[in-house]
Chain A
Amino acid sequence: MFEYEGKAICFGDDINTDYIISSRRKKDTIDPYELVPYLMEDIRPNLVDLLVDQVLFVAGENFGCGSAMEVAAQIVKAAGIPIIIAKSFARSYFRNAINNGILAIQADTSHFREGDIVRVRMEDESVTIWNLSTEYVGHHVAPQGKIREILDAGGLIPYVATLNKEELHGNRREDQ
């Protein structure tokens, strides 16, 4: 089981990866930790100040659209944000989020406002989201299989470390 409680930082639809971290910042470094001060700087200039609390991201449709640069997911993780709840994700961002150990939950987010206190609990089969500020509760199916194992490990790199040799190479099937 995994449980997290934090303040919602809300975004609208179509937040592209260039809003998440501007390409002009990536010229100097692509170290996600060094880039954290610039997270969402063009659309939320004082976002960094909010990071002193436990927070999570709540967004509308198509979060993470645009380029597939993996650093746009790495920086969210580096900023200490373990969960993004969005109406939908861009395909590549969803993958990158999971691979970097961020719980990306697709859910109706119209019940959330900036600053709401949100609790997320992931159990074997289900993910439950409480908006403690409005008493809204949402139930969702928890990610399963490989994707769950990657999340539980904290991302693709630590996940690989959890595999033994046999698991790494033993899933080889005969060519059809």
Chain B
Amino acid sequence: MAKTIVEKIFSAKSGKDARAGDIVDAQIDVILTNDASGPLSIDYFEKMGGDRVIHPERVVAIIDHYVPCPNSKVARLHQKLFDFRDRYGITLVEAGHGIAHQVIDELKYIRAGTLIIGGDSHTTTHGYLDTVSVGVGASDLAFALITGALWFKIPETIRINLTGILRKGVSGKDVALYLLRILGADGANYRALEFHGDGVGCLSLDDRKTICNLAAESSAKCAIMPLDERALEYCNTQHIRVDDCVVPDEGCTYSRTIEIDLATVPLMISLPPRADLAVAIDEQLGTPIDMVVIGTCTNGRISDFEIVDEVIREIPGPFMVETLIVPGSLETYKHMVNRGIAGRLLEKGAMILPPGCGPCCGSSPGTPRDGFNVLSTANRNFVGRMGNVNSHIYLSSPAVAIASALTGHITDPWRGGHV
């Protein structure tokens, strides 16, 4: 019988002829954790009597949520990760190097045909290179550390067909929010998303990461983009192996098919308090904004800050509101400095925070004040997400966020007369 990509990868990793609905025991290629979930996983590891990590070379812990360490309680949690590294030989990336999802990508752990788990719901990001990449809980992660494997219920797959090309200025973030509006907050629960169609070709690799990242907001188990020419070329230049890449079989079963003509996707804004409450920017132009945050695992990459730079060179004047810039990684930050982007942002009054999650979930500083409307490039905007239940979070692309920082209200950067 014809198989979808998840069915194929889980079959390969379990040694079984696996179908949607089956429960299999699958070998894990990469285990990712961070300082939010990692310490809890270590507790479970100990309760399970764990005395070794079976494949330490497959495990990466990255300190990204609490950066730099804010207090002694968190310092002890961080210490746990360091002790675990010393004892079991896993890789640990220290604070300041960036967000786990971005760093692990820069370190080239992501390779087609692999099964990746992470103690973080946005582990879905890594499906952009034809992998099954799934967020799991603390006990599951501990179990995988000990045994190298984990049980999975193989999901059904929703097929997303992308056609056409994006209009100028419209980004992967807008596509992600547009899709999220179609799917709804639990529209992909228990399901995998698989992306196809000519439209994929016009999406940069970074756009693809953003789309797979936001798949988590529709409760998808994973989001997969098979390698197309552009992805293959990227893998070649980055020396990433592609010999295990997977395509779905002709005639495999999809639980649903969604068609999106990229040419019809507008700039999008998600309204508080749910990411799937996404609307075209036209409905929100002029909404006053008190704070802007650019960064997070959704949109904190070099390409995001290059677009930001394009916009600030076009719209004169300083930022009208508190503008927090959080490079997704140290590499990104260095690039911003070397290209003069960081300097231009500072000139306009930005605050540049250390690479990491920043204020995304309130774990690091940058809490909005009561009554604030925040425009953020993150993926979540529920009540209290940034640490203050009396603030409202809107979500957008970096281009829209930075343009709005320059005007103080929701602004379309590509349409004149913004000031």
User: Which chain A residues have a beta carbon within 8 Å of chain B's beta carbons?
Assistant: 62, 65, 68, 70, 88, 90-92, 94-96, 99-100, 143-147, 150, 156-157, 160-161, 163, 168-169, 171-173, 176
Q: Which residues of B contact A168 (CB under 8 A)?
A: 54, 146-147
Q: Which residues of A contact B27 (CB under 8 A)?
A: 171-173
Q: Which residue on A lies nearest to B40, using beta carbons?
A: A70
Q: How far is the CA of A75 from the CA of B367 in the complex (A)?
A: 31
**15 residue pairs from A and B, CB less than 8 Å apart:** A65-B189, A68-B135, A70-B40, A90-B189, A95-B137, A96-B137, A146-B23, A146-B151, A156-B44, A160-B48, A160-B146, A161-B49, A168-B54, A169-B54, A169-B148
Q: How far is the CA of A157 from the CA of B48 in the complex (A)?
A: 5
Between B23, B151, B153, the greatest number of chain A beta carbons within 10 A of the residue's beta carbon is seen for B151
Q: How many A-B residue pairs have CB under 8 A?
A: 84
B221 within 8 A of partner (CB): yes
Query: Are B49's CB and A160's CB within 8 A?
Result: yes
- 7 pairs of A and B residues whose beta carbons are closest in the complex: A146-B151, A160-B48, A146-B25, A99-B139, A147-B23, A156-B139, A91-B190
Q: How far is the CA of A173 from the CA of B12 in the complex (A)?
A: 11
B47 within 8 A of partner (CB): yes
Known: A143-B23, A145-B23. A156 touches B219 (CB 8 A): no
Known: A68-B135, A70-B137. A91 touches B189 (CB 8 A): yes
Query: Are B137's CB and A176's CB within 8 A?
Result: no
Q: Which residue on A lies nearest to B243, using beta carbons?
A: A176
Query: Are B24's CB and A145's CB within 8 A?
Result: yes
- Tally of B interface residues using CB under 8 Å: 34
Q: Which residue on A lies nearest to B58, using beta carbons?
A: A175
Q: Which residues of B contact A88 (CB under 8 A)?
A: 189-190
Task: Point out the residue from B12, B139, B143, B186 that lies within 8 Å of A90, measured CB to CB.
Answer: B186
Q: How far is the CA of A62 from the CA of B218 in the complex (A)?
A: 13
Q: Which residue on B lies nearest to A156, using beta carbons?
A: B139
Q: How far is the CA of A156 from the CA of B148 in the complex (A)?
A: 14
Query: Are B219's CB and A90's CB within 8 A?
Result: yes
Interface residues of B in 123-175 (CB under 8 A from A): 135-140, 143, 146-149, 151, 153
Query: Are B23's CB and A144's CB within 8 A?
Result: yes
Q: Which residues of B contact A94 (CB under 8 A)?
A: 153
Query: Are B12's CB and A176's CB within 8 A?
Result: yes
Q: Which residues of A contact B189 (CB under 8 A)?
A: 62, 65, 88, 90-91
Q: Which residue on A lies nearest to B188, using beta carbons?
A: A91
Query: Are A157's CB and B148's CB within 8 A?
Result: no
Q: Which residues of A contact B190 (CB under 8 A)?
A: 88, 91
B244 within 8 A of partner (CB): yes
Query: Are B23's CB and A156's CB within 8 A?
Result: no
Task: Point out the residue from B12, B40, B48 that lies within 8 Å of A156, measured CB to CB.
Answer: B48
Q: How far is the CA of A147 from the CA of B21 in the complex (A)?
A: 13
Q: How far is the CA of A30 from the CA of B276 in the complex (A)?
A: 30
Q: How far is the CA of A168 from the CA of B145 in the complex (A)?
A: 10
Q: How far is the CA of A66 from the CA of B24 in the complex (A)?
A: 25
Between B12, B15, B186, the greatest number of chain A beta carbons within 10 A of the residue's beta carbon is seen for B186
